[in-house]
Structures are given as C-alpha cells and as structure tokens.
Amino acid sequence: MRKKLIIAGATGALTLAGLGVALPALADDDTPAAGASSEDRIRDALAGLVDDGSITQEQADEVASTLDDAGIGSHGPRGGGGLGLSTAAETLGMTEDELRTALEADDASLATVAEAQGVAVDELVAALVQAQTDRIEQAVTDGDLTREEADERLADLEERVTERVDSTDLGGGRGGHGPRGGDGD
C-alpha cells in the first residue's frame, strides 16, 4: 500500500511540477553521463525542480528510487520491476534486437523465447536475478541504497523476476511487448 501511495504521490508531484521538462531529459540518450543509472538520470531530470523549490531533494530521491523500481526512465531492460534485456539476450544466445523482435509476437514472454532457444527458464531467471542482485549490491557500495533498502529489494527478487519472465505483458503499458529498464542488468 505504501508503495502505491508513493507512486501515486510521485506521479502527482511530477505532473504538477513539470513532467514535461523531466521526461525529455530522461529520454535523451545523449545527456546522461556514461554509465549513469536510470535512477541517476531521473535525479538529474528532477534537479531543476529541486533547484527552483518545487520539490525537496528528499522528494526527488524518493521519486527517483520509486520510478527506477518501476522501470520508468530507463533505456532498455533492467532488473527488479523490469528485466535486463542485455542479460536476457546474452543468456538466450541472441542479440537485444533479436530478443525484442521475438517478444513482439502475440503471447510471447521471456519464458517462451527461452524455450524456443533451448534455454531452461530457470537458467534465465537465475541470470536475471544475479544481474539485479549485482546492481543492487553496487548501489549499496556506491552509497545510492542503504543496506536495509537493498535487503528489501532482494527479499522476493527471484519471485518477482520469475513472474516477469512468465508474463506476456513485459511492455509496461508502452504499447507492445519487451522488457524495460537499465542497461546494466
């Protein structure tokens, strides 16, 4: 319930405070620093709103974390709420473009693509869980997450990844199939 309230509040805050300014910055592949996480790109996009007093830094951090968890503001796949397209493609012996194309078929899921590629679904899930675990642990090392936040995200990670691998709705409402999120997964 708390997460739903945070997402609703974040959505309202962004809408009222200038979503039209933030989203182009998130979508611009040329502006983020090399290797910047989607959460960092979201924070960068919200910096102007913090600077002009529309939102506090604490609110920006919470919005960035929540939107990152939901896979918003990312280029390609990620772990957690979304799945790592690069990790999935590598595990399946495909390019990211080939995987995107395979996921465009009706009722396609990462699980059905894995089966078609002769890869065990459990192997794909394990690779995606490991990539997300590594990403979360790196965020702790970098000081972007507390240990408590990381433990919360890791608690049911395998279950969430398995659900997403089995899901035919990987597009997250973006008009089509395909995993979402950051390139580091």
DSSP string, 52-63: TTSS-HHHHHHH
Give yes or no for a contact between 41 and 26, defined as CB atoms under 8 angstroms apart: yes
What torsion do the CA atoms of 91, 92, 95, 100 make, to the nearest 10 degrees?
-110
Q: What pLDDT score does 84 carry?
A: 64
Residues 78-113 as b/e (b if ≥16 CB within 10 A, e otherwise) read: bbbbbbbbbbbbebbebebeebbebbeeeebbbbbb
Q: Among positive and negative, which fits the CA dihedral 58, 64, 66, 67?
A: positive
Flag residues of the chain having pLDDT under 50: 16-34, 74-82, 172-185
Q: What pLDDT score does 161 carry?
A: 92
CB within 8 A of 113, min separation 6: which ones? 92, 94, 99, 102, 103
The pair of three-digit structure tokens given for residue 169, joined into one six-digit string: 């709705």
Q: What pLDDT score does 174 carry?
A: 35
